[in-house]
Amino acid sequence: MQVILSLMIFQFMFGKLFKRNREQVKLFYNTDVHCHIMPGVDHGSQSMEQSLEMLRAEMEMGISRVILTSHVTAVTFENTRESLMDAFLKLKDAVTDEGLDIELELSAEYRMDEYFDKEYAADHLIPMPGKHILLENSFQQELMNLDELLFDLQIKGYKTILAHPERYSYYSHRRKRYEQLHNAGARFQVNILSFTGYFGEEARDSALWFVRNGMIDYLGSDMHNIKHAHIIMDYINSKEWKKLSKEIEPTVKNDLITM
Ligand SMILES: [Fe+2]
């Protein structure tokens, strides 16, 4: 009796596991342009094991290229090309050792603060291919000279991408500002997690506003841990995502970030 019970539990557990693998809906693009999968460089992945688990989750969702955008912020994460390169090479080696078929690219998510100003002035930025640069606002208030900085970056050939604009609550009552920024050449990267309500109703409403207004240029996981990956995996299996992704697909350019 006990053996039969154990066999039933085994079948239930593995049945569920295989069911999830078999039914996982894939994303309609292959490049994740925003994530914190690099081990030990910010408050994302804290170990190589966690990084590999997150990369396996990316692959399950149909991602075959990941642009690693670790935080670069004053005081908390003053990463440099050297500090990130060290972690990047170790992660690449681990991916090869594990036989994972996923391409990795090194870049960063830059908070626009005094450390960014210093790195930019010294020409030390690590852009994505095609000189795309992922920029993050402060969560308290918009940068005073945001327009000037974006203009300056664009003059120097950078293609400016604003990370998760839907998450800044100070924009939720002045969405015209999004249009101004978009018209001025800034591009928007929305987090899939925002659609799930993970960051609250306000962020979800704003994410839906971006869909309605056809202003999502890039989608990102912004995953910091495997829990984020699982929330995204469950969400993209939903009917809501099936409908939304059809509306979003025409404007999303994730796979066009190339040399
Ligand atoms: Fe991020």
Domains, the chain, with CATH or none: 26-256 (3.20.20.140)
pLDDT at 144 over 50: yes
pLDDT at 134 over 80: yes
For residue 28, report the distance from its CA to the centre of ligand 1, in Å: 21
16 pLDDT band (50/70/90 cuts)? very low
Residue 18 pLDDT: 46
Determine which helix (DSSP H) or strand (DSSP E) holds 163, and give its type and residue range. Answer: strand 159-163
Q: 210-225 pLDDT, tens per residue?
A: 999 999 999 999 999 9
Output the six-digit token pair for 97. 């050792």
Q: Which of 2-6, 171-175, 176-180 has the lowest mean pLDDT?
A: 2-6
CA–CA gap between residue 45 and residue 211 (Å, rounded): 30
pLDDT at 13 over 70: no
For residue 9, report the distance from its CA to the centre of ligand 1, in Å: 39
pLDDT at 62 over 90: yes
Output the six-digit token pair for 55. 């990369």
For residue 94, report the distance from its CA to the centre of ligand 1, in Å: 23
pLDDT at 8 over 80: no
Q: Which residue has the tokens 């912004």?
A: 222
Residue type, 239: K
Asked whether 195 and 231 are in contact (CB, 8 A), the reply is: no
CA–CA gap between residue 12 and residue 15 (Å, rounded): 5
Distances (CA, A) of 13 to 2, 6, 17, 21: 16, 11, 6, 13
For residue 81, report the distance from its CA to the centre of ligand 1, in Å: 17
For residue 57, report the distance from its CA to the centre of ligand 1, in Å: 17
Mean pLDDT of 253-258: 95
pLDDT at 3 over 90: no
Residue 23 pLDDT: 83
Share in percent of the chain as helix, strand, coil (round to 5): 50, 15, 35
